[in-house]
Chain A
C-alpha cells in the first residue's frame, strides 16, 4: 500500500493530538525531560499515545479514534492523569498554551532522533524557534475526495479555530500584541500555509508525486499546512489551533470541528474554488492578532463583519448537527468562551495581576492540572 492510498475511516470520527510544554518547577522556564517522561510512561499500560517532538522540552500526546467528543474528552482526562503522574515523579510541570511566554529558543535542545536532527540541519534556527505548541484535530473522512472537499471548505472556518484556541500572547518574554503569536513562528516555513487548489484525491496524489520528484518533500509530514489530509489515518487534519490551556477546551474544539464537518458534508453550503482563498491570509492574520475581536471577510457572501458575530451565527446554523452528534454542551461552552474571553485573555489578566511571567507559567500549569 503506497503512502497516498487513502485509508478508510468512519466518517466524522475524531482524534486529537496535543503538543505540551515541559516546564521546570524551579523557574517556570522550559526544561528538557521528554526522554525521561516517555521512558517512565511506557513502563505501564496506558490509554493514548505519547511521542517526542522537535525539542526535549515538548511532548506530544494523542488519543485513539472516537465517535463522540464526550468519549474523546474522557480519554484526554486519562491521558492527563498518566502524564501528570510521570511528571510529578520527575518534578516537572506540564502546561498548555501555544508558546512558552519567556523561553529563549536558542537554549532548546533537539530531541535525539534522526528526523529531528535532519530538520535542524535543514531549517537552522527555525527548527528551534519551532518550539511552539499546537493542537491537531483529525476528522475521519469516507474517502480521499471528501477529505479534499473538507480541507478546502474548512478554510472558511479557520479563523474561528484560531481565535477560540489562541493561547500564545507572550513570546520570548514580551507581549506580542497577538492573541496567537505561535502562527507567526509557523509561517516562516516554506511549506506552511494553505494546501494547493486541487479538487480530487487523484489530483492531490499527482501534486504530491510532483513535489516528491522535485526532492522538496519526502512524506506528507513535510507539509506544515494549516489543514492537510492524512491518508494514512483516512482523516483531514486541522493543525491551526494553539494547544489550549485546558483539556476541556481541547475537547470543545474537537467537538466544534466535528460539527462543522458534518454541516459541510451534509449541507454542502458552498462550492469549492480558488475564490475561497482570496481573503485567507487576511482573515488568518486578523484572528491571530485580535482574536474574537478581529474582523472577518466572508469569502462566499463577500460580507465584512466581526469574527465573534460570524462564529455565533455559525453556531446557530450548526444547532441541528450538534443535536445529532451530541456536541451541543461543548459548543455551548465555546459560545461562553467567545463572549467572555479566550485563553489569551486569561493569560493577559493573570499576568496583569502578578506582573511575573514565571508566575503566569505556574498558574497555567495549575490550570492544566486541575481544570474540570
Chain B
C-alpha cells in the first residue's frame, strides 16, 4: 500500500454529482437569494428568477447538464399546482354579481392583444408571428400574481381582481393559441374544425378540470379536514389531471385553473377552505421561477430589444385603458384602478413552453418568436414582480410590515 489514497473505498476523482445534488444546490441558492431579496423588501420570486439566470450561464457544466432535461417535467407539474391554487382563489360567481368585471377582463385582454398584434405588423413581422406574439403576451402571468400575493400575504380588492383577471386572461390566450397552432399545423382545413376546435379545447379542458375537482372533493370528504393527507391526495390528483390534459391535447392551464375554481365553488360545506399547499407551493414557486430563469435564453437579446420594449409599452398601455374603461362601473376607485393596471404587468411564464414547442415543430418560426417573446419575458420577469408588489403595498393590501 503506497498511500492512504489508494484505498478502495474513496470515491473517484473528479467527483461526479448526480442531478439530485444539483437540485439541492440550486434550491439552497434560491432560498438564500430569496431571503436576501426579502430583506431588501423585494419579492422572493425575483431572486428565484435570478437563480435560474445564474444557472443558465453554467448550462454547459457537466454538473448542470443532468438537471436541465428533467426541468421541463418538474416545471410543468409545479406550474400546474400553482394554477390549481390560483383557481381556488377565484370566484366565478363574482362575474355574475358584477358583470363589469367580465367587461374589464375582455377589454384589457382584447386591447392588449390588438395593440401588440398591430405593433408587430408595424415592425414588419409576418401575420402568423404577430398573432402568436399577441396571444402569448395578452394575458397576465398567473404564477407571478399568485407568487407575489402569497409572498406578501396580500388580501383585498386589487389582489382578488388580479387573480381573476390573470386567470380569465390565461384562458382566452390559450384558446386562441391552441387554435392558431392547429391552423398553422394545417391539421384543420375544414371550416367545421374552426368552430369545433376551440370548443373542444375550452369545454374539454373545463370538463377535465371539473372531473378533477369532483374527484378532489370526493376524496377530501373522506379525510379529516386540515389533515395533510388532504393536501397530498389533491396533489396526486393534480398530477393525474396534468397527464390526462397532455394525453388528450387539452390545455393544462385551463384544466387546472378550472379544477381549482370548481373545487371551491362545488364545495358546499366549505371543507376545502382550510386546505393550504404551504411549503409545497413555496417549493413549486421556486421550481417554476428558477426554471423560467434557467430556460430563458433569448438568442438575440439586443436585436430584439426595441421590438420587445415597444411591445411591453403597448401592452401596458392597452391593459391600463381596459381597466380604466370599466373601473367606475365595476366599483373601483381610479387610484386602485391604476394600481390594478400596474399589477397586470407580469407576463405568463407559460409562454416559454409554447415558444419551445413551436421551435420543435417549426424551427424558423420558433426562433423568430423566441427572439421577441423571450426578450420581453426576461425583462418582465425582473420588472414585474417588484412592480406588482409595489402596487399591492400601495393598495394597503399586503400583510407584511410596512
Residues of A at under 8 Å CB distance from B?
Answer: 24-29, 31-33, 36, 39-40, 56, 86, 88-91, 107, 109, 112, 354-356, 358-359, 362
Among B50-58, B173-181, B326-334, the stretch that binds chain A is B326-334
Residue of A nearest to B90 (CB): A26
Among B110-118, B268-276, B312-320, the stretch that binds chain A is B268-276
Specify which of A24, A39, A40, A354 is in contact with B155 (CB 8 Å cutoff).
A24
Residues of B at under 8 Å CB distance from A?
Answer: 89, 91, 93-94, 97-98, 153, 155-157, 160, 225, 264, 269-271, 273-274, 330-333, 336, 396-397, 399
Q: What are 25 A-B contacts defined by CB distance under 8 Å?
A: A25-B91, A25-B94, A26-B91, A26-B160, A26-B264, A26-B273, A27-B273, A31-B155, A32-B156, A32-B397, A36-B336, A86-B331, A88-B97, A89-B97, A89-B98, A90-B157, A91-B91, A91-B94, A91-B98, A107-B153, A356-B225, A356-B269, A356-B274, A358-B270, A362-B270
Q: Closest approach, in angstroms, between the C-beta of B56 and any C-beta of chain A?
A: 37
Contacts of A28 in B (CB 8 A): 270, 273
Q: Is there an interface contact between A36 and B270, defined as CB atoms closer than 8 Å?
A: no
Contacts of A36 in B (CB 8 A): 157, 331-333, 336
Q: Is there an interface contact between B155 and A32, defined as CB atoms closer than 8 Å?
A: yes
CA distance A36 to B397 in the complex (A): 12
CA distance A81 to B124 in the complex (A): 56
The 4 closest A-B pairs by CB, nearest first: A359-B270, A88-B97, A91-B94, A89-B331
CA distance A32 to B93 in the complex (A): 20
Q: Is there an interface contact between B157 and A33, defined as CB atoms closer than 8 Å?
A: yes
Contacts of A91 in B (CB 8 A): 91, 93-94, 97-98, 160
Given A25-B93, A28-B270, A32-B397, 19 other A-B contacts at CB below 8 A?
A24-B155, A25-B91, A26-B91, A28-B273, A31-B156, A33-B157, A56-B396, A89-B98, A89-B331, A90-B157, A91-B93, A91-B94, A91-B98, A109-B396, A112-B396, A355-B225, A358-B270, A358-B274, A359-B270
Residue of B nearest to A111 (CB): B396
Contacts of B93 in A (CB 8 A): 25, 91
Specify which of A26, A39, A56, A89 is in contact with B333 (CB 8 Å cutoff).
A39
CA distance A32 to B336 in the complex (A): 14
Q: Closest approach, in angstroms, between the C-beta of A349 and any C-beta of chain B?
A: 16
Q: Is there an interface contact between B270 and A26, defined as CB atoms closer than 8 Å?
A: no
Q: Closest approach, in angstroms, between the C-beta of A132 and any C-beta of chain B?
A: 20
CA distance A24 to B89 in the complex (A): 11
Residue of A nearest to B395 (CB): A32
Q: Is there an interface contact between A90 and B225, defined as CB atoms closer than 8 Å?
A: no
Residue of A nearest to B225 (CB): A356
CA distance A56 to B155 in the complex (A): 11
Contacts of B156 in A (CB 8 A): 31-33
Residue with the greatest number of chain A CB neighbours at <10 A, chosen from B157, B271, B333, B399: B157
Specify which of A31, A89, A359 is in contact with B330 (CB 8 Å cutoff).
A89
Specify which of A25, A33, A107 is in contact with B399 (CB 8 Å cutoff).
A107
Q: A32-B156, A358-B273 are in contact. Are A40 and B331 (CB under 8 A)?
A: yes
CA distance A90 to B399 in the complex (A): 20
CA distance A40 to B273 in the complex (A): 28
Contacts of A33 in B (CB 8 A): 156-157
Q: Closest approach, in angstroms, between the C-beta of B265 and any C-beta of chain A?
A: 10
Residue of A nearest to B397 (CB): A32
CA distance A27 to B267 in the complex (A): 12
Residue of A nearest to B264 (CB): A26
Residue of B nearest to A27 (CB): B273
Specify which of A24, A56, A86, A359 is in contact with B269 (CB 8 Å cutoff).
A359
Contacts of B399 in A (CB 8 A): 107
